[in-house]
Structure 1
Amino acid sequence: MTADLTALPARTGDRPATTGLEIPHDQLEAFSPPQIRSVLIEFARSLPGVRTGPSAVSEPGSLAFRLPRADRDFDAFLHPSVDEFGHVHRTGFMHLTIPVSSVAVLTDLGWVEPHPISKRPEFPSGIVMFYAPRDTDELTVATTVLQASYDQAAA
């Protein structure tokens, strides 16, 4: 069962600077401490069936969250990959597919921004950048959103 993403707290502080509408879509400041990123990765690896490895759709050094499926939902995976539902960059921010119904609320709460590629019809509309969690409170939100991304991919 997917968590209620509308019940999350607002992110504190200013949004980090990003490349905005440019691809590659990168966060430019306010990165995760290494131990926070490590816990985030361990959480992803604990999800049933998830495998990690180099991303097929992102820069070298990004770690993919993969869920092999024969009957995958178009909106739940990062294309052109057939099994990558998200990835974490070396600095801690993630690109994820999330339920389209959650994009606006998570944007308003300050946790995400839509990926510019999500505006193209050949890509899912729910691809977002989740800003790098800076502390354990933000890590809790990050794992909740990552869980929702996983739940969408596993459904």
Structure 2
Amino acid sequence: MSGQMKHIVESIQDVAQRHPRAIATTVLLSVVTPQLTHWFVNNYRSFLALGRAGIPSNIIGWSIAMMAKPFGRETLSTDMYDRDSNKDFWLDDHSIPERRGDRPRTGWHFLPHRQTNRLPSQDVKERLKAIFGKHAAANPDLLEIAVSPHERMHEAMVIKSSRPSPHKVADHAMREVAHYHPEIDYSLHVTLSPQDCKLVIERGWGERHPLSGTVALPKEYLLVYAPRDDEELDVVERILVATIGYVAGSKEVN
């Protein structure tokens, strides 16, 4: 070893002995940083894959979604509905069978709240769109179509502006009845009565939004999974009709 190289090695050893924690941290970062970078890049891509919603589909929106993540709650328990004093149903228990198969996955981010697999065919998408439009048009005394106050870009059913909100849950939901997500998955966000929420969740047709039950959203605000065939379209249509009845406060829904 040359004298110059020996001097460099001795100098490094001296620094290491005097600053062991700094050296250990530097080595750790050199190993971990590429892995973190890879995770953040993949996480950002998965956020973009969820499509547009109420936050920008860019680095700013991703930052908002990341900051919201710690505030998310679990989505499948139903004890809160058992404790609710409202025991009314808008759904017939016998009309909601157990949903076949496992629940679809939902995104790691919940802004936007979307499912990421088991997506419908183009034909089913078009038929869901038609069902949504049919019921919106058939209930002009209860509903009107407006931009979703939650997603702020998709069309939504909302309580007709001349009609008073029938209960505090409707106010908490910003008078929105339902909307579906036309860009990616064709799942729906709906607001159901507490007992209908329990039925839909327990039979596998949906889950709460992770912010449901907070100041942001009522506990009755659910994601209903996208239908995949005729049978599931029928069930989702029944859920949609129940949603209209509950939020608008009417048992007479067309």
How many Å separate the matches in 2 of 1:124 and 1:150? Answer: 16
How many Å separate the matches in 1 of 2:189 and 2:231? Answer: 19
Say which structure, 1 or 2, has more relative contact order (CA 8 Å, 6+ apart): 1
Aligned equivalent of 1:114: 208
How many Å separate the matches in 1 of 2:145 and 2:226? Answer: 18
User: Aligned match of 1:18 in 99, 106, 113?
Assistant: 106
The alignment of Structure 1 onto Structure 2 pairs a total of residues equal to: 152
The ranges of structure 1 where at least 4 consecutive aligned residues each deviate by more than 3 angstroms after the TM superposition are 50-54, 76-79
Q: Is the 8 A contact 1:11 1:110 kept in 2?
A: yes
Aligned equivalent of 1:88: 180
Aligned equivalent of 1:97: 191
Per-residue CA deviation, residues 61-115 of structure 1 (Å, 9 max, x unaligned), is x331223143113323673x34x21110022100000111122221111100111
Q: TM-score, normalised by structure 2?
A: 0.53
- The structure carrying a bigger strand percent of its residues is 1
Distance 1:35 1:6, change over 3 A: same
How many Å separate the matches in 2 of 1:34 and 1:52? Answer: 23
Distance 1:140 1:20, change over 3 A: farther
How many Å separate the matches in 2 of 1:21 and 1:99? Answer: 26
Q: Secondary structure at the match of 2:110?
A: coil
Aligned equivalent of 2:244: 150
Aligned equivalent of 1:58: 151
Amino acid in structure 2 at the alignment position of 1:58:
E
Distance 1:78 1:18, change over 3 A: farther
Distance 1:99 1:3, change over 3 A: same
In terms of Rg, which structure is larger?
2
Q: CA RMSD in A?
A: 2.4
Per-residue CA deviation, residues 99-150 of structure 1 (Å, 9 max, x unaligned), is 1112222111110011112120453211000000011110000000000000
Report the alpha carbon displacement of residue 45 of structure 1 after superposing the two structures with TM.
2.5
Aligned equivalent of 2:4: none
Amino acid in structure 2 at the alignment position of 1:124:
P
Per-residue CA deviation, residues 46-68 of structure 1 (Å, 9 max, x unaligned), is 331233354231164x3312231
Name whichever of 9-18 and 100-109 sits farther off. 100-109
Q: Secondary structure at the match of 1:118?
A: coil
How many Å separate the matches in 1 of 2:98 and 2:231? Answer: 11
Q: Is the 8 A contact 1:98 1:152 kept in 2?
A: yes
Amino acid in structure 1 at the alignment position of 2:219:
S
Amino acid in structure 2 at the alignment position of 1:65:
M
Distance 1:96 1:36, change over 3 A: same
Distance 1:145 1:122, change over 3 A: same
Report the alpha carbon displacement of residue 6 of structure 1 after superposing the two structures with TM.
5.7
